[in-house]
Amino acid sequence: MTDGQLILIIDDEPQIRRLLLLTLEGSGLKVTQASTGEEGTIRVRTDNPDLVILDLGLPDMDGIEVLKEIRRTSRLPVIILSVRSSESDIITALDLGADDYLTKPFRTGELLARVRACLRKQQAVEDQEPVSFGTLTIDLAARTVEKKGVPVKLTAIEYSLLALFVRNAGRVLTHKFILEAVWGMAYNEETQYTRVHVGHLRKKIEDDPANPTLIQTESGIGYRFTKL
């Protein structure tokens, strides 16, 4: 279902570009490349890609600026490439509308999974069919949740959380994003809300709440629903 889609790589490192090119083309995707931020913003318009892989450390301009430029005109999926220990940059990028992130060095398998998740999300956004994740089944239209066939009783907030996760399955969600979506704009600093309610939600839907597999914690950033 992702075959033939075009991926734009914006990175100044030829080796990384080659690696990405090989990996993506190897799994049936088409690739176009840009080595500077400026070239990248042009290609977004001219090549009309389905997804952008954007390196934050570009020689001519900050990757964040490129992202802002893209988001001014489109909802095009963007995956951020970054290095470890710049969590704040990643959070900024995610809050500015980036769809996911990868830290260098990364494994190619991980890269492909992220790319696929982002492309799939575009298609599955308003899917009305019940979805299953392991022993958990969620019917977003009927607002029901079942675990191993047994209905799970959720609070309103827990259901809102779960629905948010399911709609964005595979995608990383920052605390701020979750807080704004579930509690509203005024609560976007209250990270303890997400911690506590995610904890409660895990107890109800995870097979082993001590070792969660459905709601994953992304260190210092937020949560991601389901294992990739």
Partner 1 sequence: MTDPQDSRPDPDALLRLLKRKQERDEEAKLKIFFGMCAGVGKTYAMLQSAHEEKRKGLDIAVGYVETHGRVETEALVQGLEIIPRRKIEYRGTSLEEMDLDAILARRPALVLVDELAHTNAPGSRHPKRYQDVAELLENGISVFTTLNVQHLESRADTVAQIAGAQVRETIPDSVFSLAHEIELIDLPPDELLRRLADGKVYAPERSERARQHFFRKGNLTALREMALRLTAERVDHQLREYMRGERIAGPWKSGQRLIVAISPSPHSATVIRWARRTSYTLGATWAAVYVESLQTLSAAARKQLADNIRLARELGADVITTADARVDRGLLRIARQENGTHILVGKSAQRTPFWRKSPFDRLIEDSGGMDIYIVAGEEEQQRAPLRLFRRFSSWQHYAVAAVVVSLIAALCFPIRNIVGYQTVSLLLLLTVTLLALRLSSGPILLAAALSAAVWDYFFIPPIFTMSVGLGVDTLMLASYFIIAIVTGVLSARSRTNESALHLREERATALFNLTRELSQANTVDGVVRAAVASLKRFFDADVVAFLSSADGDLTNTPHPESTFAVDEKEFAVAAWSYWNEKKAGRFTDTLPGARGVYYPLSGPRYSLGVIGVRLSGDGPLALDQETLLQNFLDQIASALERESLSDISAKAMVVAESERLYKTLFDSVSHEIRTPLAAIAGSAESIMNEDLAGDQEVRRQLARDILTATDRLNRLVGNLLDMTRLESGLIRPRLDWCDVRDLLNACVRKVNPDPSRHPVEIEMQGDLPLVRLDYGLIEQAITNILYNAVLYSPSGARISLQALVDRESLVISIADHGPGVPAGMEERIFEKFYRVPGTPAGGTGLGLSIVRGFVQAHKGTVTARNRREGGAEFTIRLPLETAPPSV
Q: Which residues contact partner 1 (rule: CB under 8 A)? A: 84-85, 87-88, 105, 190-193, 195-199, 210-212, 217, 219-220
Amino acid in position 188:
N
Structure tokens at 110: 């991980």
Nearest residue (CB) to partner 1, 46 versus 192: 192
Rounded to a whole number of angstroms, the minimum distance from the CB of residue 105 to partner 1 is 6
Most distant CA pair in the chain, distance: 56
* Least Å from the CB of residue 175 to partner 1: 8
For partner 1, the closer of residues 156 and 210 by Cβ is 210
Q: How far is the CB of 83 from partner 1 (least distance, A)?
A: 9
Spatial CA neighbour of 101 closest among 34, 56, 35, 161: 56
Task: Give the neighbor-by-neighbor strand order of the sheet with 78-83.
Answer: 30-34, 6-10, 51-55, 78-83, 100-104
Cβ proximity to partner 1: between 75 and 107 the closer is 107
- To partner 1, the closest distance from the beta carbon of 214 in angstroms equals 13
Output Rg (C-alpha) for the chain, integer angstroms. 18
| Cα–Cα nearest to 183, from 203, 197, 200, 201 | 197
Give least dist CB 191 to partner 1, A.
Answer: 5
- CA 118, chain centre distance (Å): 6
User: Closer CB to partner 1, residue 130 or residue 134?
Assistant: 134
Name which of 52 and 198 has its Cβ closer to partner 1.
Answer: 198
